[in-house]
Chain A
């Protein structure tokens, strides 16, 4: 609403023209030097980190601790899954055949059973081979070895069943294998009458281990996601607190005409520096902590091989990069969200 009588002598049209020209000049005045601007943002970000050392340190420590918790969660999930898988691999279905069943016959029986799609591997051994295994297993037991003369050996071979050890992909689905063993004529002909196949005996154990493996896989994933969310929230809150205490600075910068990018930039750089340092601390603590605990865990029958191999190989640098990358990303996103809140308010 313009009341012409309040304006100076210039006409409204001339004034509007001049005002638009002024606006055009204003838009042109800003010389763009992206590299120079980025350089200044990094410089002030680094200086800000140093000058707010207490807040920066607090944020870095919180970030490092949460990254370590995240590492522990992921590693625990991997270890649990690997241990469960290792135990599953130990499970085999053993089918006993009459003593002295020949190797050729065992080969034919192997061919029959191998047709089943659930079969992962089949290993057969004759009575003689079973005897050799027995000797190998008791190689350190002098008491046993002393009584094994030729007569005893012949007796044992004549009594020891030939075996077929089967590993399967899906331990829950053994019906087709059972069907072959129970219905196939050749199997029926050579099956040992005294020793029944073990799949029925181990069914409960198999089911337990299977369910543990499933819990380890899905539970570990869920736990990792929950911890990831909690970690991000903790880091976000810490950085937000740090920026909250400096919201006046954001307001001041806006008032003197700083662009959003120039205001936001140093805060993001500070958060990224926090992320880098926190990532390095967390990776180092996690590495030494895990390498210290690994032999003890291994002693309890827990499978830590995959993680140990990862940390000992030249992929260790990748582990550090993941930690640092996670720190940078979480720090940057948190700072960006926190600064944006005050940027829009001011």
Chain B
């Protein structure tokens, strides 16, 4: 569903690459957390997927679309096939909740009748049907993020990517948002979420991909205890190298003369 192969990107003026030979394969219906410290390359990777940025080298195939072949004029059409949730919600401030969600359907050329049928359903899914006539600045952060999610899933995309969707939210709201994303994943949508939040990663027990300095340094299929400086595989490696450890790697065999 999402395939990155040896993707590299160095921003002009930077010496270190933002992404360095990153390869990642996400299967349909997977729920994947992309974790790492600031500057690890998570946002750059997300921008590659939304085609805001173009890699210097490597190949990206999203939902069966090779992004090398997506020309500039086709980018809006490609983006309409993705659901994208942003850290700062990116809602249209002068449009109501209803209009923000309807916007995603209008740009896809849906009829008015279809829109009138779909939007209430989606707003009901995110529990905001009673707030439909309000403007974004009349809502709380959590509610705004739910509108953003409603907008991104209104077209029923096969892939939903969320860039730090809980970064500005309190613990309770964070749980609500993650619960909502889990629900959407249960409907069959592939979800890729970047986050700093250890708790949500640990609680959900989903696949965790860890990035550092523009590289993927760990990929745990079944989740687990996650610390930015101590990914499960790094921890295991360090333990194995510790003196007296039973699983200490054996020295390389020498040639006997």
**Interfacial residues, chain A to chain B (CB-CB below 8 A):** 1-3, 6-8, 15-16, 18-23, 25-27, 29-33, 36-37, 40, 44, 48, 51-52, 246, 249, 251-260, 262
Contact = CB atoms under 8 A, between A and B. Distances in A.
B5 A19 contact: no
B252 interface: no
State the main secondary structure of chain B at its contact with A.
Answer: mixed
Nearest to A28: B77
B63 interface: yes
A33 B111 CA distance: 9
A30 B108 contact: yes
B49 to A, nearest CB: 12
A140 to B, nearest CB: 72
A299 B9 CA distance: 77
Interface residues of B, number: 43
Given A7-B5, A20-B66, A252 B76 contact: no
A20 B65 CA distance: 7
A37 B109 contact: yes
Contact of B61 (A15, A32, A255, A260): A15
A32 B5 CA distance: 35
Given A1-B58, A19-B69, A20-B69, A256 B84 contact: yes
A40 B106 contact: yes
Interface stretch (B91-99, B184-192, B193-201): B91-99
A259 B5 contact: no
A255 B84 contact: yes
B208 interface: no
Contacts of A32: 109
A253 B94 CA distance: 13
A26 B58 contact: no
25 contacts: A1-B6, A1-B58, A6-B5, A6-B23, A7-B3, A8-B3, A16-B66, A19-B61, A19-B66, A22-B66, A26-B70, A36-B111, A37-B109, A252-B92, A255-B52, A255-B84, A256-B90, A257-B77, A257-B79, A257-B80, A257-B107, A258-B107, A259-B76, A260-B76, A262-B107
A26 B94 contact: no
A66 B80 CA distance: 42
A255 B74 contact: no
A19 B6 contact: no
B246 to A, nearest CB: 33
Contacts of B91: 252
Given A27-B77, A252-B92, 12 more contacts: A8-B3, A15-B3, A15-B61, A29-B77, A31-B109, A249-B92, A255-B90, A256-B90, A256-B103, A257-B76, A259-B76, A262-B106
Contacts of A260: 76
Interface of B: 3, 5-6, 23, 25, 50, 52, 57-59, 61, 63-66, 69-70, 74, 76-82, 84, 86, 90-95, 103-104, 106-109, 111-112, 151-152
State the main secondary structure of chain A at its contact with B.
Answer: helix
Contacts of A40: 106
**Top 8 A-B pairs ranked by shortest CB distance?**
A22-B64, A19-B66, A257-B79, A257-B80, A22-B65, A6-B23, A258-B107, A252-B90
B110 to A, nearest CB: 8
B32 to A, nearest CB: 15
Contacts of A252: 90-92
A23 B94 contact: no
B74 A26 contact: yes
Contacts of A2: 5-6, 58-59
Contacts of A26: 65, 70, 74, 77-78, 81
Most chain B beta carbons < 10 A, residue from A3, A26, A32: A26
Contact of B64 (A18, A27, A253, A258): A18
Nearest to A256: B104
A257 B66 CA distance: 17
A255 B93 contact: no
Given A252-B90, A256-B151, A257-B76, A23 B65 contact: yes
Contacts of B76: 254, 257-260
Given A2-B59, A36-B111, A52-B94, A255 B50 contact: yes
A249 B5 contact: no
Nearest to A34: B109
Nearest to A21: B64
A33 B58 contact: no
Nearest to B86: A255
A99 B39 CA distance: 108
Most chain B beta carbons < 10 A, residue from A32, A255, A262: A255
B92 A33 contact: no
